[in-house]
């Protein structure tokens, strides 16, 4: 094998190597470039209620106005002259469990207020409180892409009660919504 | 090839020099023209990668389409912050006015922990999977360019595992 032929073969090998790397072909007549292509799939988001918000049984104030509050951790506080909560009917905060794709950003919307209704009586307006981390509606589900991320939010509430509030059983509904951004 | 063409050009100049000073006698001289076209190498670079974005798994089979302009249809992309849908884009640079072939593959496989998805590619240079003819902008003597956008379609099913899927495809540009 002549020296020239060896050089030629070496050159050919280098040309092949450069082509395999996807760079400009050595003779400049062709060129290649690569791009990545990507898609992310995430599981549907769900919200499930695992506990209702219950205020229990409240004795209304004898005079004036008081408040009834159940915090997100389920503790109850009643104010007002003569007002009290009966220990026989426990209070609970509502609990919602949000499940979705780990690591994904979501927006959680808790109703700010809702009405407790009783037929024939004026509504009692409940203002809600919740324990979303940082008090923010924008959250990131724990865990990472490819596994389930679960976030629990507890919801409490407070309403005014006066000596004039009709005695009755009151109930109402409110919603918690979770959505990917 | 480039250097070979340069050599040809040099030879042509030498030939012309040899012919021109034909004997300064009273005889006629003849001029021949020697032509050669030297063009710059062709190159292609990737400007943007292809990204469909993030989708909630559909309840039934749904095909997501990413247009050559980067617009998604079929499903709505979610959580697009930092993960916005985009078509792939390439810029080809070479000699102005020259005819070229652009080859975009027909499909690309995206793989992830949950398996594989096949993206069918679409290119504004024409049909994918085979070489398409195009012309670089401008005229010979200056650089010309051609931009190629590549979109695609990907079928999603309710049973596709959630996760990130990715793959790579290569586009080739060549003088004809």
Q: Which has the higher per-residue pLDDT, B11 or A96?
A: A96
Question: Which of B2, B56, B152 lies at the smallest CB-CB distance from A28?
Answer: B2
Cross-chain CB nearest to B117 (options A35, A39, A43): A39
Is residue B114's pLDDT more than 90?
no
Domains of chain A, residue spans = 1-38, 46-180
CA distance A58 to A90: 11
Instruction: Check pLDDT > 90 for residue A180.
Output: yes
Inter-chain contact B54–A22, Cβ cutoff 8 Å?
Answer: no
Q: Which two tokens stand for residue A176?
A: 């918690």
Confidence of residue B21 (pLDDT cuts 50, 70, 90): very low
Q: Are residues B91 and B170 in the same domain?
A: yes
Structure tokens given for B98: 């020259």
What residue of A is the nearest CA neighbor of B52?
A: A39
| Separation CA B91–CA B47 (nearest Å) | 7
Task: Count other C-beta atoms under 10 Å from residue A92's C-beta.
Answer: 16
| Residues of B with Cβ-Cβ distance to A38 under 8 angstroms | 49-52, 110, 164-167
**What one-character-per-residue DSSP string does A35-51 give?**
EEEEEEEEPPPEEEEEE
Looking up tokens 């292509």 gives: A37
Element containing residue B11 per DSSP (H, E): helix B2-19
Asked whether residue A15 carries a pLDDT value surpassing 50, the answer given is no
d(C-alpha B29, C-alpha B20), whole Å:
8
How many Å apart are CA B58 and CA B51, to the nearest integer? 18
CA–CA dist A72, A156 (Å, integer): 4
Q: Is it the case that residue A163 has pLDDT exceeding 90? A: yes
- Cα dihedral sign for A25, B39, B131, B137? positive
Q: Do residues B113 and B163 share a domain? A: yes
Say if residue A144's pLDDT is above 60.
Answer: yes
CB contact at 8 A, A172 and A115: yes
More confident residue, B7 or A157: A157
Taking the CA of residue B122 and the nearest CA in chain A, the distance in Å comes to 13
What's the confidence (pLDDT) of residue B30? Answer: 84
Helices (H) and strands (E) in chain A, counts: 1, 13
Cβ-Cβ contacts under 8 Å, B59 against chain A: 44
B145 and B167 assigned to the same domain? yes
Separation between Cα atoms, residue A30 and residue A33, nearest integer Å: 11
Are B110 and B25 members of one domain? no
CB contact under 8 A, A41 and B54: yes
Q: Is A56 left (phi over 0), alpha (psi -120 to 50) or beta?
A: left
| Measured distance CA(B7)–CA(B20) in Å, rounded | 20
Q: What is the mean pLDDT of residues A141-165?
A: 96
In terms of residue numbers, what domain contains B105? Answer: 40-175
Question: Which pLDDT belongs to residue B135?
Answer: 95
pLDDT of residue B9: 42
| Same-domain pairing of B163 and B128 | yes
Could you report the per-residue pLDDT of A33-76, keeping only the tens digit for each? 999 999 999 999 999 999 999 999 999 999 999 999 999 999 99
Q: Give the span between the Cα atoms of A95 and A72, in whole angstroms.
A: 9
Report the percent of chain B where pLDDT is more than 70: 86
Provide the pairing of β-strand A46-51 with A94-101. antiparallel
Q: Of B106, B108, B93, B103, nearest to B50 (Cα)?
A: B108
Lowest pLDDT segment from A8-12, A18-22, A33-37: A18-22
If you measure CA to CA, which chain B residue comes closest to A22? B170
Contact B42 A39 (CB under 8 A): no
> From A35, which residue of chain B is nearest by alpha-carbon distance?
B49
**Confidence tier at B43 by pLDDT (50, 70, 90):** very high
Q: Is the pLDDT of residue B13 over 50?
A: no
Read off the tokens for B8: 């040809």
Instruction: For residue A32, list its beta bridge partners.
Output: B172
Hey, of B78, B159, B161, which one would you mutate to test binding to chain A, going by the most A CBs within 10 A of its CB?
B78
Cα–Cα dist B91/B84, whole Å:
21
Same domain, B88 and B10: no
Gap between the Cα atoms of A161 and A109, Å rounded: 27
The reported pLDDT for the residue numbered B25 is: 63
**pLDDT for B27:** 78
Average pLDDT over all residues of chain B: 86
Partners of residue B78 in chain A, C-beta under 8 Å: 42, 180-181
Q: Which of A157, A42, A177 is nearest to A96 (CA)?
A: A177
Of B43, B45, B55, which is closest to A41 when you measure between CB atoms?
A: B55
Band the pLDDT of A25: cuts 50, 70, 90.
low
Which residues in chain B touch residue A44, judged by CB atoms under 8 angstroms apart?
56-57, 59
Mean pLDDT computed over A98-111? 97
What are the tens digits of pLDDT across the range B66-82? 999 999 999 999 999 88
Are A39 and B154 within 8 A, CB to CB? yes
CA–CA separation, A138 vs B4, rounded Å? Answer: 64
What is the predicted ipTM? Answer: 0.78
Q: What's phi and psi for B68, nearest 5 deg?
A: -65, -10
pLDDT over 90 at B5, yes or no? no
Is the torsion defined by CA of B138, B140, B143, B144 positive or negative? positive
Is 70 exceeded by the pLDDT of residue B123? yes
The verdict on A30 touching B (C-beta cutoff 8 Å) is: yes
pLDDT surpassing 60 at residue A127: yes
Asked if A93 and A61 count as a contact pair (C-beta separation under 8 A), the reply is no
Tens of pLDDT along B135-166?
Answer: 999 999 999 999 999 999 999 998 889 999 99
**Residues B28 and B87 placed together within one structural domain of the fold:** no
Q: Please give the tally of structural domains in chain B.
A: 2
Same domain (yes/no): B118, B34? no
Please check whether residues B19 and B52 belong to one and the same domain.
no
CA distance, residue A4 to nearest chain B CA (Å): 17
Assess whether B30 and B45 both reside in one domain: no
Residues B87 and B70 in one domain: yes
> Is the domain covering A46-180 a CATH 2.40.50 domain?
no
Taking an 8 Å cut-off on Cβ atoms, the answer to whether B43 and A31 are in contact is yes
Q: What is the mean pLDDT of residues A150-157?
A: 98
Q: Is the pLDDT of residue B22 over 50?
A: no
- Tell me, what CATH number does B112's domain have? 2.60.40
């Amino acid at each position: 094998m002549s020296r020239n032929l060896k050089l030629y073969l070496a050159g050919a090998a280098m040309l092949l190597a450069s082509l395999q790397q996807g760079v400009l072909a050595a003779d400049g007549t062709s060129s290649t470039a690569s791009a990545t292509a990507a898609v992310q799939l995430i599981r549907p988001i769900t919200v499930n209620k695992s506990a209702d918000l219950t205020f229990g049984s409240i004795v209304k104030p004898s005079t004036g106005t008081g408040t009834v509050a159940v915090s997100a951790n389920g503790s109850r506080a009643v104010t007002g002259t003569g007002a009290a909560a009966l220990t026989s009917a426990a209070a609970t905060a509502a609990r919602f469990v949000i499940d979705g794709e780990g690591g994904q950003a979501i927006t959680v919307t808790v109703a700010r207020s809702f009405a407790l209704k009783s037929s024939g009586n004026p509504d009692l307006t409940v203002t809600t409180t919740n324990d979303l981390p940082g008090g923010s509606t924008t959250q990131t589900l724990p865990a990472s892409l490819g596994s389930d991320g679960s976030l629990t939010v507890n919801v409490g509430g407070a309403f005014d009660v006066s000596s004039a509030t009709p005695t009755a059983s009151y109930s109402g509904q409110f919603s918690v919504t979770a959505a990917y951004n | 090839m480039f250097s070979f063409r340069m050599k040809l050009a040099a030879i042509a100049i030498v030939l012309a020099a040899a012919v021109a000073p034909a004997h300064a006698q009273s005889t006629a001289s003849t001029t021949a023209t020697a032509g050669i076209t030297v063009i710059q190498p062709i190159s292609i670079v990737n400007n943007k990668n292809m990204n469909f974005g993030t989708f909630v798994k559909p309840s039934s089979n749904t095909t997501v389409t990413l247009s050559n302009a980067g617009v998604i249809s079929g499903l709505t992309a979610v959580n697009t912050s930092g993960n916005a849908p985009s078509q792939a884009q390439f810029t080809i640079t070479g000699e102005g006015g020259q005819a070229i072939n652009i080859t975009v593959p027909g499909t690309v496989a995206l793989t992830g922990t949950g398996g594989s998805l096949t993206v069918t590619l679409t290119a504004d240079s024409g049909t994918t999977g085979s070489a398409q003819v195009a012309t670089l902008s401008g005229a010979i003597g200056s650089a010309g360019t051609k931009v190629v956008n590549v979109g695609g379609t990907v079928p999603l099913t309710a049973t596709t595992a959630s996760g990130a899927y990715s793959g790579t495809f290569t586009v080739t540009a060549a003088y004809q």
